[in-house]
Structure 1
């Protein structure tokens, strides 16, 4: 009996920890300039003429920042316009990259933007994707167990809140090139991604298998 009660106590503790996890508000700058740039991005990249930069979330995309600290990662996303160090994408739009969420190395989840406000984090799919950035991701600073747990919790939280169909790693985004959700007009605008790593994605997917996300589209060979 004591063993059963102990098991129940542990189970209840785990449930409590899961359901009371905090999301810390740490908004990046979303001024009039960023709003205009976001609306221009939606129009120019996707042919979406909108009065507000609102999205209908259908997808969660997991990333890594390849920047060692939260503060440095936040500072990279905070300005409305792209800094000079992103010369690979600045000619497409002056809108800075960002995401709706960022997970620090200790597992703290920060919300940078409202979940239904467009962030620039994945080519072709920003109009329907919630981005989750993870601080780190280099060989010296691999993603942590705390980040893994927080990503699993956040995916569950978002799936319960929105009618989300897909969970992907950033490196999988080109699988959607012939999918109805794909809206990027420029066939040449692609960047090669590896984040957040195959192993990390496999672990997250295994932990949320019960959520029944749709399978990813198969790659079409040329």
Structure 2
């Protein structure tokens, strides 16, 4: 069970370079576990005994929140605070395994393959990376995302890299799993320019993008 904890630094080896990740776990109590398993069953049609994923995709986001601590406080509760549009689908709070601060510091909020609610239709197979900020993401965040993607690709069978704004392009593909065809939201994060720059930096990883768009 995960809970609030003193920060500590873990160094991971990604391919031939090192990546510094600071563990700052959000609450993952029995309530969050139960809500995660319920979400997997009701929204994705997947019955499991434990809330873990087999990642095939990385999805990049921005928080639309200006500070690390404010973002952490939003993700930390097990139950979604407010957001009636999302509450109608599930009380499970949104979260991601990784949060990148403005200075490029990478925080791990959950173990890499823990199920987290961050992208309709694709949560069950996607690791989410949130970037603190909006359409003003920094060069340091770009560099951190590139390092993190190289680490994740070295650890897991990752095939796809997309921005959150591209998620609806997977509707109708074998990867799409959402039981309610009307449950959709409009997204623009993390911005097309940011995604273009990231893709240039990780071109050698040969990750697939949106099935409908080529950038």
Q: Name the TM-score, length of structure 2 as normaliser.
A: 0.90
Give the aligned partner of residue 95 of structure 1: 92
| 1:118 and 2:118 matched | no
Unaligned runs of 5+ in 2: 1-15
Equivalent-residue separation in structure 2 for 1:216 and 1:94 (angstroms): 29
Question: Is this contact kept in 1: 2:41–2:47, CA < 8 A?
Answer: yes
Give the aligned partner of residue 81 of structure 2: 83
Give the aligned partner of residue 201 of structure 1: 195
Q: Map 1:67-78; keep pairs closer than 5 Å.
A: 67-78=65-76
RMSD (Å), alpha carbons: 1.3
Give the aligned partner of residue 26 of structure 1: 24
Equivalent-residue separation in structure 2 for 1:188 and 1:180 (angstroms): 18
Equivalent-residue separation in structure 1 for 2:85 and 2:140 (angstroms): 32
Equivalent-residue separation in structure 1 for 2:161 and 2:85 (angstroms): 26
Aligned length: 199
SS of 2:119's partner is: coil
1:178 to 172, 176, 188: 172
Deviations 1:38-77 (A, max 9, x none): 0000000011110000100000000000101000000000
Q: Map 1:141-160; keep pairs closer than 5 Å.
A: 142-160=136-154
Equivalent-residue separation in structure 1 for 2:212 and 2:194 (angstroms): 20
Which of structure 1's runs of 4+ aligned residues deviate more than 4 A?
Answer: none
Q: Name the TM-score, length of structure 1 as normaliser.
A: 0.87
Give the aligned partner of residue 135 of structure 1: 132
SS of 2:22's partner is: strand
2:204 to 204, 210, 214: 210
Give the aligned partner of residue 41 of structure 2: 43
Unaligned runs of 5+ in 1: 1-17
Deviations 1:170-219 (A, max 9, x none): 00000101111111010100000000000000000010001011242127
Structure number with bigger Rg: 1
Question: Is this contact kept in 1: 2:19–2:151, CA < 8 A?
Answer: no
Structure with the higher helix share, 1 or 2: 1
